[in-house]
Amino acid sequence: MAQEMEYLKQSSQLGNINRPQVAILDFGSQYSHLIARRVRELHVYCELYSCLVTPEELGKHELTAVILSGGPNSVYEEGAPHVAQGVWDIIKERKVPLLGICYGMQELAHVFGGKVAPGLKREYGKASVSRVAGCNSPLFAGLPEEFIMWMSHGDKLHVVPEGFKAVAGTSNADFVAIENLSEQMWGLQFHPEVTHSPLGKDILKNFVVNIAKAKQDWVMTDYANEFIEEVRAKVGPTGHVIGAVSGGVDSTVAAVLMTRAIGDRFHAVLVDNGCLRKDEAVKVLKRMRDDCGVNLRCVDAKERFLGLLKGVTDPEKKRKIIGGTFIDIFQEEAKKIEAESGKCDFLLQGTLYPDVIESISYKGPSATIKTHHNVGGLPATMKLKLIEPLRELFKDEVRELGMALGIDEASVWRHPFPGPGLAIRILGEVTPERVAILQEADDIVIEELYKSGHYRMIGQAFVVLLPVKSVGVMGDGRTYENVACVRCVETTDYMTADFYHLPYEVMGTMSSRVINEVRGINRLCYDISSKPPATIEWE
């Protein structure tokens, strides 16, 4: 693994043009990614860094503004995270506007001589924020004298640091917003980034656009053109790129983008592991090869995968078997492509920005590389340089990019599908018979979501086949068959999700069709768990 991680560090990562940015320093808040999303929604480019980022790293970038996130620590405790002095020097020397949110405000106050201590009462949930009489802070331009914001803190500011003044408070805390106009610094005890703060977007726009003067030029058409030019320069006129595709929105957009850049010198590989959706391989070939012009080959490896999965019930073993076999097949295909067309020096990978955030969060680098499509699982002997066109994008931005590239709407709005496929949606042993049952049930559920107009409103929907049987009655006979469960969630970033409130009549139609049309299922349930504490997938 150490060898593979070193390989990752040395990999070439395209799509990292040094454009002006809002830098978000993450102190471990569960909301840090939301700050980044809200800034991106303003069409302003931003990046998220650990709060322990070095001055050398941050100083390389053209900073439009800096935002300090919230976090679970207390600034006055030993071992609490703090911004390096060199980073503060950069902010002050360049006169970069700064906004501290929750812990970020307390860090700001702590550094500049204020007093942060526990409050008499903790404050969690919605709170009415009142502006100080006569306050004309540019941060609150266009906002009423009182507004609702989301609080989540136990500590509070007791003494405002020298040079700052209070501009808003609540019944529980006098100083929930502070500012220092001469230093262009602001602090907020509440969370403007969450949806529970109705006017939070207005505050962030005031700071990012009106105060920091960030250009609202983060658009996907420009991003695509920049990437195409950059990858052409990197790969050169004769270089070849290989990449695995699944037919999902991420791999489709990445493959089309790469095809626009270098044409048939991009070699896409689709591995049919026997655990894809119903008729998925045929549909992907038509959509990507025939409609989008991607140089795509499909490897039929159903028997190979299902043979290795026979008798396996542990989900982690399933993942390892599928991941390891995928790597073997991918290497075999890479050798065939090399013999036919020339050596591939680059690997296309569909890393998204949430994966990057996970790896750089203050909570610590992720110890697990998440799916078998991630290059971390490829052996170091495959000396391929990474090309990651989507690593700066959230899922909704990938969809926006897909539309800008002219990819059909149905493909762009497809729900995510896990790398191991239906194998982790079949709890227990994976057999050809159980795959066939789940494929049919899943196809019916997705069809009904399209028919009822709910598909686009759902972030991810699928069926899970449980290792449980139940008694039923069909006609005059008793049945003892499988139980399946429908999972529909609403989410935009897939970091948090709530179960989708599907109307009962749609559930009823799904249940009736699945039980009547799919031999082997006699009971259909609906999952009403949210993430957290549950995950979106069951395994």
- Give the catalytic positions in this structure: 102, 191, 193
Residue 246 is labelled as binding a ligand: yes
Cα–Cα distances in angstroms (integers) from residue 392 to residues 223, 401, 537, in the given order: 10, 12, 24
Give the whole-angstrom CA distance, residue 225 versus residue 216.
Answer: 17
> Which residue reads 């009142």 in tokens?
130
Helices (H) and strands (E) in the chain, counts: 16, 18
Answer yes or no: is 249 a known binding residue: yes
Judge whether 219 is annotated as a binding position: no
Say whether 194 counts as a known binding-site residue: no
Enumerate the β-bridge partners of residue 99. Answer: 67, 186
Q: Token match 């970069």: residue? A: 96
Q: Return the structure tokens found at 15.
A: 């799509």
Work out the burial of residue 224: count CB atoms within 10 Å of its CB; fewer than 13 is exposed, 13-18 middle, 19 or more buried.
buried
How far is Cα 331 from Cα 240, in angstroms, rounded to an integer? 15
What Å distances lie between residue 349 and 7, 344, 375, CA to CA?
Answer: 15, 14, 7
The reply to whether 238 sits in an annotated binding site is: no
Burial class (CB in 10 A: 0-12, 13-18, 19+), 316: exposed
Amino acid letter, residue 264? D
Q: What CA–CA distance (Å, rounded) separates 535 from 497?
A: 8
CB atoms within 10 A of CB 312: 17
C-alpha torsion angle, residues 291, 292, 294, 296 (rounded to 10): -40
Q: Which residues, 6 or more positions from 67, have their beta carbon under 8 angstroms from its beta carbon?
A: 22, 23, 24, 25, 35, 39, 46, 98, 99, 100, 101, 104, 207
The DSSP call for residue 312 is -
Gap between the Cα atoms of 466 and 484, Å rounded: 6
Query: According to the annotation, is 50 in a ligand binding site?
Result: no
Distance CA 494, CA 411 (A): 18
Q: Is 361 annotated in some ligand binding site?
A: no
Q: Roughly what angle, to the nearest 10 degrees, separates helices 32-41 and 353-360?
A: 140
Q: What is the CA radius of gyration of the chain?
A: 26
Could you list the residues known to form a binding site, using ranges.
Answer: 246-252
Could you list the residues known to form a binding site for ATP, using ranges.
Answer: 246-252
